[in-house]
Structure 1
Amino acid sequence: MEQLLMGSFLSAIATGAGALPILFFKTVTHRWRDILLAFTAGIMVAAATFSLIPQAMNNAPFQIVCLGVLTGTVTLTLLESIIPHIDLEHTRVNISMDSQALLILSAITLHNIPEGLSVGVSYSSEQPSLGGLIAFAIGLQNVPEGFLVALFLINQKVSKHKAFLLATLTGSVEIVSAIIGYSLTGVVEGLVPYGLSFAAGAMLFIVYKELIPESHGDGHARSATFSFIIGLLVMIGMIQWF
């Protein structure tokens, strides 16, 4: 449990780490943002396909793994349909802080729930290092997310310190959901492989639906592609190392 709390805390606080630069400057180049997003996508694809899915298949039939992956994908799809996706970087509509900012914060918070569950379930697997690897992958994904949320809030006339605090708080839900995911695996027999495949489906949805399109939307597709491959190789190396 101690490792779970530490891993989920570091994963969640990565959102705040991403928002921290907002206290010192307001902009970041599209090129570096796209490179970071693509690198994160590579990390998450490797985590899902070389760690989560193989670990799930070692403990469950192929049908269960397929069901878990599809459930993770459908869950993220439903969340997106309930809380519409808003492109934080390209939003130009001047909507009041009360409506648009609340929508953004709600979307990011709900989006973090399955990520926390993924971390919690991973710590319940038979592979001791898996939880740390998944927490690392989720944490990397949270860094640009935290920066963009804080940047959006500042553009909505929220003070720098309040924007930093709110962005950090959106990640705190991951700690609670990680504990829930970890606890459920001890109550429901056979939940671990299903949960691991669910986490893989959720991560692959995030990569293909959000990270890759975002990283290729501003004319930096080649740099983003190389960054994606490097991220993938880095995560494969970490999986082999641990």
Structure 2
Amino acid sequence: MEQLMMGSLLSALATGIGALPILFFRQVSHHWRDILLAFTAGIMMAASTFSLIPQAMKQDSLIIVCLGVMTGTVLLTLLESVIPHIDLEHTRVNISMDTQSILILSAITLHNIPEGLSVGVSYSSEQGGLGGLIAFAIGLQNVPEGFLVALFLINQRVSRWKAFLLATLTGSVEIVAAIVGFYLTSVVEGLVPYGLSFAAGAMLFIVYKELIPESHGDGHERSATFSFIIGLLVMICLITWFA
């Protein structure tokens, strides 16, 4: 339980780490942002395909794994349809802070719930190092997200410190979701492999629907591609050494 709390806390606080530079400067180059997003995509892709799914298949049937992956994918698809997706980096709509900022914060917070569940389910697995690896992968994904949320809030005339705090708070829901995921899979027998495959489906959705398109949106496809592959190899090395 102590490891779960530490891993989920660090994963959630990564959003605040990403928002931290906003206290000192207001922008980052598209090039470096795309490289970071692609690197994160590689990390999460490897975590899903080389860690979560194989571990789920060791514990249960292929049918359960497929159902879990599809459930995670469908859930995030439903969230996308219910919560309008707004491109934080390229939005040009001039809406008041009270409406657009609340929408953005709500969307980011809700999207963090499956990520927290992924961390909690991973810590309940029999594979000792899996929880830490997934928390690390989710935390990396939260870094650019935290920066973009804080940057958006500043552009809506929110103070730097308030933007930093609000962006950090959007990640705090992951701690609660991680605890729920951990206890659910611990109490309900046979839920762990389903939960692991669910987490894989949710992460793969984020990679393909969000991170890869975002990293290829500003003409830096080649460097983003290399960054994706490097991220994937880094995570494979971590899985081999620590899992």
The answer to whether TM tops 0.5 is yes
SS in 2 for 1:58: helix
Letter paired with 1:238: L
Q: Spell out the pairing of 1:33-44 with structure 2 (5 A cutoff).
A: 33-44=33-44
Q: Distance in 1 between matches of 2:230 and 2:113?
A: 28
Superposed displacement of residue 131, structure 1? 0.1
Using the aligned pairs only, state the percent identity: 85
| Alignment match, 1:233 | 233
Q: Distance in 2 between matches of 1:33 and 1:185?
A: 36
Q: Spell out the pairing of 1:147-186 with structure 2 (5 A cutoff).
A: 147-186=147-186
Q: Distance in 2 between matches of 1:119 and 1:186?
A: 13
| Alignment match, 1:94 | 94
Superposed displacement of residue 186, structure 1? 1.7
Q: Distance in 1 between matches of 2:147 and 2:222?
A: 23
| Alignment match, 1:127 | 127
Superposed displacement of residue 108, structure 1? 0.3
Pairing 1:22–2:3 present: no
Q: Spell out the pairing of 1:195-210 with structure 2 (5 A cutoff).
A: 195-210=195-210
**TM-score of the pair, normalised by structure 2:** 0.99
- Unpaired stretches in structure 2, ≥5 consecutive residues: none
Q: Distance in 2 between matches of 1:187 and 1:126?
A: 14
Q: Distance in 2 between matches of 1:81 and 1:188?
A: 30
Superposed displacement of residue 194, structure 1? 0.3
Q: Distance in 2 between matches of 1:115 and 1:75?
A: 12
Superposed displacement of residue 185, structure 1? 1.0
CA offsets per residue over residues 76-125 of structure 1, 9 Å max, x none?
A: 00111111110000001101111110110000000000100000000000
Number of equivalenced pairs:
242
CA RMSD of aligned residues (A): 0.4
Letter paired with 1:237: C
Letter paired with 1:201: G
Q: Distance in 1 between matches of 2:135 and 2:24?
A: 27
- Unpaired stretches in structure 1, ≥5 consecutive residues: none
Q: Distance in 2 between matches of 1:41 and 1:185?
A: 26
